[in-house]
Amino acid sequence: MKFLAGCLALLSIVPCLFAGAASEATPPPARRIRVLLLGDSTVLGSMPRLVAPNADHLERIVEKLLAAETNLPPVEVINKGVDGGSIRSLLDSQYEKEVAQLPGHKLDFIFIRYGLNDARIANPETEFPKAYHELIARLRKDQPNALITLETSIRFDTPAPFPSAEKMNKLTCEVAASEKLPLLDTHALFEKEVETQGLPALTYRRVKLDQIPEKQRSLLPKESLAFPGYVVVLDNTLDVQFRNIPGWFDRHPNLAGYHVIADGIAKYLAPKIRERVNAPE
């Protein structure tokens, strides 16, 4: 009986010993990688958020695509796009609140995509690069460990060859070269998918409600009226009835368009994240 009692006592200790060893062998949880997106309305995607608030939007799509990759730590993507945003407006009125005061750990990657609204300022050929260099300098000071990547803008003027986007993208490429920063050609990625799907598949529709004939307004789904005074439809559902209304085809990305942009960002990021997490301390 004494022998049995001794065995039972020993068995009660063994699991604790193994539990301690397992605990010591368990690696610490991977540090979360943090990514910041800066840009204009084509980064933010405010209309898809209004019409389809429960859908995956740009930052969540990037997160999910990276989560599907192997051997990557968790990734948090922060979207700080602003409707009508330009680099100068970011520097003058939004940077301190929206960027400098970001809570938590420092950023690992920063993507910058501007140009569409900057094209409307006076002397964009000189003022846009000047503001861009100023923004990069501030980011380097505040986030010295972050890899800054510049992006080209998607098409936004018609007809081809999209002179405004082409001009601003050329300036963006010149800034990236002079700052020795990588460039993600989002414009080229988007255009390649336009060749496959067609532009209407990747952009939404938006017109003022009073442009819709009253007798046909019953066709409008409730969610299309989320933006007061306007009709916003994310796909081709109502094209047959309303395609001839001037301005029906908007130029901003719809959910499919954001999947194109997110796919490009995720494919660009995955190997760079691996390089970062595998780099010696």
φ, ψ for residue 63 (rounded to 5)?
-60, -45
Domains recognised in the chain with CATH numbers: 33-199+255-275 (3.40.50.1110), 203-253 (no CATH)
pLDDT of residue 122: 86
Burial class (CB in 10 A: 0-12, 13-18, 19+), 82: buried
pLDDT for res 98: 86
Please give the Cα distance from 10 to 133 (Å, whole number).
69
**pLDDT tens for the 281 residues of the chain, in order:** 444 444 444 444 444 433 444 445 555 566 899 999 999 999 999 999 999 999 999 999 999 999 999 999 999 999 999 999 999 999 999 999 889 888 666 899 999 999 999 998 889 999 999 999 999 999 999 999 999 999 999 987 665 555 678 899 999 999 999 999 999 999 999 999 999 999 999 999 999 999 999 999 999 999 999 999 999 999 999 999 999 999 999 999 999 999 999 999 999 999 999 999 888 76
Q: Where are the beta strands (DSSP E) in the chain?
A: 33-39, 75-81, 109-113, 147-151, 183-184, 203-208, 230-233, 249-253
The structure's pTM equals: 0.87
DSSP three-state, residue 151? strand
Strands 203-208 and 249-253: antiparallel
Closest CA to 165 of 112, 111, 120: 120
Give the Cα separation of 82 and 223 in Å (integer): 22
Rounded to an integer, what distance in angstroms lies between the CA atom of residue 104 and that of residue 34?
10
Close Cβ partners of 118 (under 8 Å, ≥ 6 residues apart): 86, 87, 88, 124, 127, 128, 131, 168
11 within 8 A of 54, measured Cβ to Cβ: no
